[in-house]
Amino acid sequence: MIDSTIIKEIYVGDGETTQFPFSFPYISTDDVKVAIYDIETEMEETLESDYYVDGVANKVLYPGYPPGEEPPESMQPGPLPVGKKLIVYRSTPINQLKDLGDKYPLPIIEEMVDKNNMILQEMDEKVSRAILVEMGDGMTPEDFSYDLKNLKNYKNEAAESATSAAESAKASATSAGNSADSAEAAANSATQASVSASGAAATLQEGQSILESTAEYARQVAQEAAGIHEAAIPAWDPETVYSYPTVVAYTDGNNYRCIGEEVEAGTVPPTSNAWVRITTISGDDFWEIDLNGGVQPRVNPTYAACWTLDADGNIEPRGLDDEITLAAETKAEQSALEAAGSASDAAGSAGEAAASALAAKNSEDHIDQIVTNATLIELDADDNITTKEEESEDD
């Protein structure tokens, strides 16, 4: 008769104990197993050697070996150290090897035992497909299920955030590419206008200088739209009056472009329609998931719509009177703002280049008119204006 439900004993290592008694019943010493659980790593290992089951004293020796089979001491592990647990447990094979014979009612009794054995085998197959808590872990299945659920939710949220970020980045890249193409076209137009104007000698030098400045500005816009920055973006200064297209770095970790003119000093970018954010945020990063699936503060947070850092570096909710209170924006709104900013840049660059080209054309037409009307001047081989020599009567 088996009247005990105990099937395992757990011991905490102290660096000295090598004998571990157990009280649960068993059929064979081969059914008594030993595992070691590491408290720090939360990992468990079933031993295949270096332990011995004493079936007379009902105890496990670790390290231990059958009499006369001890390896050299240098090849033996030391006593169970502090920080580890030793689990002695029973693992009985699920089979039925007893044949009671054919005399009534022995076949019926054997059939009853066989049925129980088949049920146990089916249950074992189901358990083999389940996620189990380590024997040495103090976590309950309910705790593990809760952490697993949180982990799945976190995984799904992370996947959704990654997909959203990828789509936003793709849209931003497309917008930036279109803006870069437009700006490059504007630069080419400005350069062509500059080339056309350069042949007008000293009178056109001022117009040529304007066109060259416009071309350089267009190139800078193209580089900025493609994400190429030759210098770090300056920090926002509450004492400075800003105008389009200035870009600044604000204290919430984002970059903002001014879309207004002569914006009053001290106007905070996140709370003003005169500024638009041009950085993409994939989500709040004030929190992260620890190894147990719980929420913990991130070491170096940068941005969150609902959280901020106080003067001591502690996380606190954003207040209604906080000058940097932000409205939570959807990814679509962010992408729309960024695309609008890029389109505005490209349109501005193209407009300025077209205006400069028109000015250069007018200047060139004006010089052509002057040259046509003034018969006593001409351009030498270096495009300099010189006095035109009178043609001799012999010519």
pLDDT digits (tens, 9 = 90+) for 235-262: 999 999 999 999 999 988 889 999 999 9
Residue 290 has pLDDT above 70, yes or no: yes
Name the pLDDT band for 200 (thresholds 50, 70, 90). Answer: very low
Task: Give the angle 337-227-342 at the CA atoms, nearest 5°.
Answer: 30
State residue 124's pLDDT score: 87
Residue 139 has pLDDT above 90, yes or no: no
Instruction: Return the structure tokens found at 77.
Output: 């592990």
Cα(265)–Cα(250) distance, integer angstroms: 14
- C-beta separation of 211 from 198 below 8 A: no
Same domain for 205 and 340, yes or no, is yes
- Name the residue with higher pLDDT: 286 or 97: 97
Convert the pLDDT of each residue in 66-78 to its tens digit. 999 999 999 999 9
State residue 279's pLDDT score: 81
- Name the residue with higher pLDDT: 104 or 171: 104
Same domain for 212 and 291, yes or no, is yes
Cα(368)–Cα(326) distance, integer angstroms: 58
- C-beta separation of 152 from 289 below 8 A: no
Same domain for 161 and 88, yes or no, is no
In a domain, 102, yes or no: no
The secondary structure of residue 293, as a DSSP letter, is S
Residue 29 has pLDDT above 80, yes or no: yes
What is the percentage of the chain residues whose pLDDT exceeds 70?
60
In a domain, 385, yes or no: no
Tell me which of 46, 77, 93 is where a domain ends. 93
In a domain, 137, yes or no: no
Residue 206 has pLDDT above 50, yes or no: yes
Name the pLDDT band for 221 (thresholds 50, 70, 90). Answer: low
Residue 331 has pLDDT above 50, yes or no: no
In a domain, 388, yes or no: no
State residue 213's pLDDT score: 64
Cα-flanking dihedrals φ and ψ of residue 162, to 5°?
-65, -45
Residue 190 has pLDDT above 60, yes or no: no
State residue 382's pLDDT score: 75
Name the pLDDT band for 226 (thresholds 50, 70, 90). Answer: very low
Residue 345 has pLDDT above 90, yes or no: no
Residue 58 has pLDDT above 70, yes or no: yes
pTM: 0.39
Cα(285)–Cα(303) distance, integer angstroms: 6
In a domain, 140, yes or no: no
In a domain, 297, yes or no: yes
In a domain, 181, yes or no: yes
- Name the residue with higher pLDDT: 152 or 309: 309
Judged on CB neighbours under 10 Å (0-12, 13-18, 19+), 189 is: buried
DSSP letters spanning 13-77? --SS--EEE-----S-GGGEEEEEEETTTTEEEE-SSS-EEETTTTEEESS---TT-PPPGGGS-
In a domain, 103, yes or no: no
The boundaries of the domain holding residue 46 are 1-93
Same domain for 234 and 322, yes or no, is yes
Cα(173)–Cα(175) distance, integer angstroms: 5
- Name the residue with higher pLDDT: 43 or 166: 43
Instruction: Return the structure tokens found at 3.
Output: 């009247």
Cα(284)–Cα(303) distance, integer angstroms: 6
Tell me the average pLDDT of the chain: 76
Angstrom CA distances, 82 to 17, 233, 283, stand at 10, 54, 42
Same domain for 332 and 206, yes or no, is yes
Same domain for 167 and 251, yes or no, is yes
Tell me which of 72, 93, 114 is where a domain ends. 93
Tell me which of 41, 59, 93 is where a domain ends. 93
Most confident segment among 192-206, 245-259, 334-348, 357-371: 245-259
- Residue 275 forms beta bridges with which residues? 258
Q: What kind and span of H or E run contains 90?
A: strand 84-90
Instruction: Return the structure tokens found at 183.
Output: 């700006």
- Name the residue with higher pLDDT: 199 or 160: 160
Name the pLDDT band for 166 (thresholds 50, 70, 90). Answer: confident
- Name the residue with higher pLDDT: 214 or 318: 318
Angstrom CA distances, 389 to 367, 376, 378, 395, stand at 20, 7, 9, 12
- C-beta separation of 251 from 379 below 8 A: no
Instruction: Establish whether the linkage from the previous residue to 301 is cis, with ω within 30° of 0.
Output: no
Same domain for 89 and 161, yes or no, is no
Name the pLDDT band for 287 (thresholds 50, 70, 90). Answer: confident
Nearest to 62 by CA among 6, 45, 54, 38: 54
Average pLDDT over residues 178-202: 58
State residue 324's pLDDT score: 43
**Could you give the number of structural domains in the chain?**
2
